[in-house]
Every structure is written in C-alpha cells, then in structure tokens.
Amino acid sequence: MKFFIDTANLDEIKEAHELGILSGVTTNPSLVAKEGVNFQDRLKEITSVVTSGSVSAEVIALDAKGMIEEGKELASIAPNITIKVPMTLEGLKAVKTFSDLNISTNVTLIFSANQALLAARAGATYVSPFLGRLDDIGHNGLELISQIAEIFEVHDISTEIIAASIRHPQHVTESAARGAHIGTVPLKVIKQLVSHPLTDAGIEKFLQDWDKTNQ
Ligand code: E4P
C-alpha cells in the first residue's frame, strides 16, 4: 500500500515529503477552508513540492458541465493534478469525460461497494471509500475496503482504492492487509505509525551501552 497525505497544509506536506514515503496528496474543500488560502495558489505550491505523485483537487460544482469546466481549469495547474469528483450521477458523467480526456480522477465520498464499482466503470483512476466516517455511524469501514478489493480483483478492474478518512494506525494496517492500494493519512497518524515504545527503549539502551565503551 502506498501513502498519500490527507491535508492542504504545506508545512505538513513538506514534512511528509522529506520522509521519502509520500506518493501523493489529497485535499478537500474542508481541508482547504482550514488553511484560509487561495485554492489554486495552494495547489501550485503543493505541486511544486510533490512533482510526480497524484495531488487530488476537488470540484465544487454539482452538475457535470460545471465539474468538467472546473476540473479542466484545475488540471491545467500541473500535470499531476487529479480531479476529485463526488460520487453522484452527475459526478459519474464528469468522470467519463475526464477519462476520455486522459485527466485522472478520484471519486470521493464512497460509502458502498456499488458506488465504487460504478465509479470504476465510469473510468475513475481512484476511488476513495471513507472508513472513519462509516465507523462514526456504527458501520464497518474496513469491511467496505475488503468488499471493493474483492470485486475489483474478481473483475480485473485497475481503478486504485484509496483508503480515506483514516483515523488511527489500525485503519492503516487493516487497509493494507485488505487490499487498499493507497492510504491517505493525516500527518498525525503517519507519526503514530513511526513510533513504538520498544523502539524508543531500544535506542536508549543502545546509547547507554555505547557510552560504556568510551568511544
Ligand atoms: C479523502 O480524500 C478525504 O479528504 C478525507 O480522508 C476525509 O476524511 P475525514 O472524514 O477525516 O474528513
């Protein structure tokens, strides 16, 4: 499973990028609003840091024509921009057009396997099932990852699954085990993945023992 970072914060993107583990970035309107910046300017900044991995930029229009216009403009910012489209009837039409234009797409707000299958058949590059939001309402987000992965495997579908709305390290481990191609993860969770008390204790012990060698 590859790692994307789920943020519009430039410092966080730079920090994750420096770790050498980053394959892309996802943003959404709420994440951009949190930053209080101009969306297109921020996309230019992000794509100057992440020059090859996919950078998802979400359209706001709800009709296919509007989505296509907005998406074309966003896609012109950099070659690695992926147009994020909500999972609706109009969204599917827009995804088909983007696919014909060779513009990559990420169909967002996926909450069922049928939605994922439809998005894939419309030509989506990525689908984003939102695990955390399903868990929030008492459903099993990880079960959805397994279902989508199985269906895509059985039908030889090349659309990649982005495990999204990830809240904690267990979501990452389980998404990877269940066949998500990508996890889009907040920086806080990336840092949680790194740390382990036995690693910290091990480093401390090695340093203490090294001190005894007087080197
Ligand atoms: C994914 O692309 C979304 O930006 C994101 O994962 C949503 O997560 P949330 O449920 O924490 O807002």
- pLDDT tens-digit readout, 78-120: 999 999 999 999 999 999 999 999 999 999 999 999 999 999 9
> What ipTM was predicted for this assembly?
0.98
Ligand 1 centre and the CA of 48: distance in Å? 23
The finding on whether 165 has its CB within 6 A of some atom of ligand 1 is yes
Nearest to 125 by CA among 182, 51, 169: 182
For helices 64-75 and 89-100, give the axis angle rounded to 10 degrees.
Answer: 40
Distances 183 to 20, 63, 77, 120, 154 between C-alpha atoms, Å: 15, 28, 24, 18, 21
Provide the residue range defining the domain that includes 114.
2-212
> Model confidence over 188-210: pLDDT tens digits?
999 999 999 999 999 999 999 99
Q: 37 phi and psi, to 5 degrees?
A: -125, 165
CATH code, 22 = 3.20.20.70
- Catalytic residue of the set 65, 84, 93, 212: 84
Closest C-alpha to ligand 1, atom 5: 165
Q: What is the DSSP string of 119-152?
A: HHHTT-SEEEEBHHHHHHTTS-HHHHHHHHHHHH
How many whole angstroms separate alpha carbon 106 and alpha carbon 161?
A: 9
Q: Is 50 left (phi over 0), alpha (psi -120 to 50) or beta?
A: beta
Nearest to 26 by CA among 176, 162, 168, 189: 162
72 annotated active-site: no
The atom of ligand 1 lying closest to the CA of 164 is 6
> Could you tell me which residues come within 8 angstroms of residue 21 by beta carbon, excluding any fewer than 6 positions away?
3, 190
> Model confidence over 29-78: pLDDT tens digits?
999 999 999 999 999 999 999 999 999 999 999 999 999 999 999 999 99
**Amino acid in position 215:** Q
Sign of CA dihedral 101, 102, 108, 113: positive
Please give the tally of structural domains in the chain. 1
pTM of the model: 0.97
How many whole angstroms separate alpha carbon 48 and alpha carbon 70?
A: 21
